[in-house]
Structure 1
Amino acid sequence: MTPSHTSPVVVAGAGPVGMSTAIALALRGVDVIVVEPRTAGQPPSAKCNTVAARTMEIFRQFGVADAVRAAGLPDDYPTDTIYCTSISGPELTRLTMPARNEREKPGFLDSAWRTPEPMVRVSQLYLEPILFERLKRTPEITVLNETAVERYEQDAEGVTVHCRRQPDGEAFTIRTQYLVGCDGGRSPIRKAMGVKLVGDAELGRTRSTLIRAPGLKALFGKRRPAWMSWVVNDKVRGNVVAIDGRDTWLVHRSMPAGVSDYDALDFDQSIRDVLGVGQEFTWEVLNHEDWIGRRLVAERFRDGRVFIAGDAAHLWVPFAGYGMNAGIADGVNLAWTLAAAVNGWAEPAIVDAYEAERHPITEQVSKFAMRKVIENVEAMGKGNVPAALAAKGPVGMGLRALLGKKLYDINVPQFAPEGLNFGYFYDRSPIIAYDGEAPPTYTMGEITPSTVPGCRMPHFWLGERSVYDELDLDYTLVRFDPSVSVEPLVAAAAAAGLPLKVLDAPKPDLPKAFKTALLIVRHDQQVVWRGDAVPGAPGDLVQVLRGAMSAQPSQLVASTG
């Protein structure tokens, strides 16, 4: 069959991960075809409701951060998380986080984070249309809606992607250099790769219902309303997420342990029990999904010229949106290496870095999320919850205070995950020149700022601009001492065609982190080399960064003082 289309890269799936992958490629001048089974403008799921700070930094590169920040909740709606016996019932504890118009005020759990883009609580319902508009105004991107990828064949030169249009059933092919599967948890591409998901196949079952309930906000009474409300009482466990801060809410109800029949949990009464209302309270069901929480990671993310990212590569219980955000990080990481290969300044082997970097991080993140599930279950107990937990007297108050303290301490790291955003590092990458210093450990909630190769360069401001705004889309040589000569390295990069921008900047007031005069930093803020002088073999360093040779620390490391 003669190919109907050709493109350097094909992305299967136009969810947040697929669209981010395509935009990252297009930013680097690479033409992309995105194949998506849904119709254009079809409403997405509301399952993810957090855009992490690290993802917002990516959206800043895309030029959509302001639009994402402004979407969803009203300016004055708080992003607090509470634990309570029901929406109308007493609270156990509260994690106070800012509304949009409070973001500049100090004292919130993430106020001191080193980032130009704090995390945003916004539903996928609002995020996907923003990204889709970005796709539509990008000439390098072609979107084929109502079209499914059915299979692929690859050879030494490229991939033939077999597609089918859904309205008329017409089959056609696309010839491409690389195929990226961002096609969800049931990924046909992952299955065609023969790759298995390994881990925990079932952590729990949940009923999730998107409702329109104009009277729900009033259930908070005189209290400050919450973005997410975790509920535990003697009838049900679940949570409620504010989608628009007015009428639309997502109500999750957890199935009792060991119960597999979803209908064993009454659909309407379980919602009333979460809300703490009687038969008189009404709502409209907008959407519903029964689903299984999992912790599964694909054995590998690649088959030759074919790759998977996002839910196609990893599935886990959706605590605070880590799945979508990790998937976007996957896609942007992969897009950069594919663009480098397509544009010809790197060797094809640069794409080996994707799995070497992202697979270990995916495993770490999934275990972080898994651990929080276990800690919360243990804190609240696996058995029946006593009715006295919601009582007004001293017994109920004492129980709530005791459990509330445990839940607060457990969940601050989850809802203010500084470590998860900024602490991860790449320690197995073939395109990072390590210098022998171990990166600092991190937890879900805490980090130690570091410039050890493989770590994220800590953020700092250059006047009113973020240093990240000054980074090139590929590599940037950041020089903190203008007296240090960098000409040999710049010349070696130019000779090899390696994009390398030189940025002179004052050294930040973080002496334990910024110990050297020079850093080479990637588009994703990860440090790939550091030193006080250009290495003795600058050409070798350039070849490592191009994916053309393995790093030899004795040749690439200059004195760090």
Structure 2
Amino acid sequence: MADAEVAVLIVGGGPVGLTARALLQRWGVRALLVEKHRELSPFPRSRLVNVRSMEIYRQLGLAARITADAFAPEYGRIRFRDTLCDRDFATAAMIGVNAPVPESPVTGVVTSQDRLEPTLLAAADTRVRFGVELIDLAEETDSVVALLADHQRGDETRVRARYVLAADGANSSVRQLLGIDTTGPGAMGGFTTVVFDADLDRWCAHQPAGVYFTAHGLFAPLYPERGWAWFVPTPEDAARADWPDLLSRAISPSAEVQADVLRVQHWVMNAFVAERFRHGRILLAGDAAHAVPIVGGLGMNAGIADVHNLCWKLAGVLHGWAEPGLLESYETERQPVAHLTLRQAVANTQLLLQVQNRRREQRRTGEAVPVNVELPWSERYFAQLDLVLGVTYHSNAVLTDDSTRPEPSDTGTDHIPTAEPGRRMSHLWLTPNRSTLDAFGEWFTLLTPDPTHWEQQSTAPWPLHIEALPDEHTDLCGLRPYGALLIRPDGHIGARWRHRPSSDATLRHALTAISGSATRDSSAPDGTSHC
């Protein structure tokens, strides 16, 4: 017998697990989160909350708080230097972070993971157990029994959960217990993060940046009020390394810099995608499902998008208005995104190394070193807006129409908003201060220039809100005066009707098909598949 029962057991207390907890609470789902460490991580780790993640946090009412704790927009820039104390030889903006973009009502921010996590922890009041490790799982017909060990107290408990959401990192215990393999390069090398305090204002205050790439490692300011981190390949004899001395010489071989080392953490940069994101009632998210190199800040944000995709589906199944088959769409939709994200992160890494290698070769050969080095990418390269805003889902939870799908750009850079089914619904202003994205929540949303007609259709038991779409947006959405867009709770378009539907059951049939409650028939008279 289990000691407790919960609807969802979340394994892992990082940003992905904490975001899932907040989302599930909004959906009225009782969850328990367990984290093997005894407290939130004191290390900065991820450094960027991108535009799409901030849209999700806006939906949760957290965006303003996260922005208040983050760096000012001018820190949304990367700078290349020979040493931290030298002048820039190249620089590039982080588009969507350094300033607003028309594609979204929010702006991404530079902030440290240890500054973000307390905000996410406070965003829900469902139970959290720190210092508790999942050590075994037993799948049953209608539940999963997890064996949890509290090492400090020396006891073990069993929890029965309807579903388990594993967000326990790249070395996921859950993934290993399930025997799920991974594909990709794997471990890409050992790295060390050195957290330190130093007065570097005379070199950096007048040229702020979220990241400084140097020939001696990557430097990043941690918090608006203080603190720095140095990321560097781990030396062979790391246990005997004189970190204060190494750090001082990395900052500048010539300038006298007093640096106070506070913490040192060794870690492995991984690059892989799990072969499966689901095993029965157990689902993988975040780094447990896909680990990507840190360059470009894609990893944590991809995990946040994972749980945004997954949690409404779990809620629908648990509340009874969706069938368990809906959960199959999670892997179908998110695994291709994970592979695309991994390819982009590897490309980012190679391009950054190319910049430093070119500079190093110039200095080694003694040739005249130019004042500036031309970057091997456009100014918009690190925007990656199409990668984070232009994802198109293809699954049974999307009803296709006769759209012509644009091919994604090789770099995921230039984002062209469309109202194609499967795409994230574009940001459009419904009123001067209210975006289309603000209309989405714990419900399906129908956007239409003709709410009266659609309000007559029966949609129980699905949660549905109907919103009037201003006339100036109908052409952008590919709609005629009586058409409509059906938006899923994760903000992706589930169905589109360009014209007035031929049946009063159209909307009900669409919700039935998207929620997995019935097999979709492309020849159905309601016209939900081909509009």
Q: For 1:451 and 1:476, how far apart are their aligned partners in 2? A: 14
Contact 1:217 1:225 survives alignment (8 Å): no
Which structure 2 residues correspond to residues 57-72 of structure 1 after superposition, within 5 A? Answer: 57-72=55-70
Tell me if 1:441 matches 2:407.
yes
Matching of residues 300-315 of structure 1 within 5 Å: 300-315=276-291
- 1:275 is displaced (CA, Å) by 2.0
Unaligned residue ranges in structure 1 (runs of 5+) = none
Q: More deviation in 29-38 or 281-290?
A: 281-290
Superposed, 1:10-409 pairs within 5 Å as: 10-40=9-39, 42-73=40-71, 75=72, 78-96=75-93, 110-135=99-124, 138=125, 141-213=126-198, 215-220=199-204, 223-232=206-215, 236=216, 238-254=217-233, 267-268=243-244, 270-278=246-254, 280-381=256-357, 384-387=360-363, 395-396=368-369, 398=370, 400-401=371-372, 403=373, 405-407=374-376, 409=377
**1:287 is matched by which residue type in structure 2?**
R
- SS class of match (2:336): helix
Which residue in 1 is equivalent to 2:467?
503
Q: How does 1:410-559 map to 2 (within 5 A)?
A: 412-414=380-382, 416-427=383-394, 429-443=395-409, 444-463=412-431, 464-482=433-451, 485-487=453-455, 490-491=457-458, 493-494=459-460, 497-509=461-473, 511-516=475-480, 517-531=483-497, 532-534=499-501, 536=503, 538=506, 539-555=508-524, 557=527
Q: TM-score, normalised by structure 1?
A: 0.86
Q: Is the 8 A contact 2:277 2:284 kept in 1?
A: yes
Question: Are the equivalent residues in 2 in contact too, given 1:440–1:448 (CA < 8 A)?
Answer: no
TM-score (norm 2): 0.91
**SS of the counterpart of 2:6?**
strand
Distance 1:545 1:76 in 2: 39
Does the 8 Å contact 2:170/2:270 carry over to 1? no
CA distance in 1, matches of 2:208, 2:35: 37
Summarize deviations over 1:184-219 as a string: whole Å, max 9, x none.
111111111110121002334433211111x11222
The Cα shift of 1:260 comes to 6.2
Q: What secondary structure sits across from 1:385 in the alignment?
A: helix
8 Å contact from structure 1 (residues 425, 439) kept in 2: no
| Maintained 8 Å contact 2:495/2:528 | no
| Percent pairwise identity | 25
Q: C-alpha offsets along residues 220-250 of structure 1, whole Å, 9 cap, x if unaligned?
A: 37x4222211113xxx3x2111111443011
The 2-side partners of 1:411 and 1:290 are apart by: 33
Structure 2 CA distance, aligned partners of 1:39 and 1:333? 29
Quick one: structure 1 residues 262 and 434, their matched pair in 2 at CA, closer, same or farther if it must change by over 3 Å?
A: farther
Deviation of 1:77 after TM superposition, in Å, equals: 5.9
State the Cα distance separating 1:326 from its structure 2 match.
Answer: 0.6
Contact 2:449 2:474 in 1 (8 A): no
CA distance in 1, matches of 2:274, 2:133: 22
Deviates more, 1:342-351 or 1:199-208: 199-208
User: How far off is 1:177 after superposition?
Assistant: 0.6
Matched residues in 2 for 1:508 and 1:418: separation? Answer: 24
C-alpha RMSD of the superposition: 2.8
What count of residue pairs does the alignment treat as equivalent?
Answer: 522
Change (3 A) 1:92 1:560: farther
CA distance in 1, matches of 2:446, 2:358: 53
Which residues of structure 2 form unaligned runs of 5+? none
Change (3 A) 1:540 1:16: same
User: Once the 2 structures are TM-superposed, how far is the Cα of residue 268 of structure 1 from its aligned partner?
Assistant: 4.4
Q: Would the aligned equivalents of 2:214 and 2:356 in 1 still touch at CA under 8 Å?
A: no
**How far did residue 431 of structure 1 move?**
1.1
Q: Name the CA distance, whole Å, in 2 between partners of 1:92 and 1:361.
A: 34
Q: Distance in 2 between matches of 1:229 and 1:417?
A: 19
Query: Structure 1 counterpart of 2:470, which letter?
Result: P
What amino acid is the match of 2:221? A
Change (3 A) 1:383 1:110: closer
Report if the CA contact (8 A) 1:431-1:551 is conserved. Answer: no
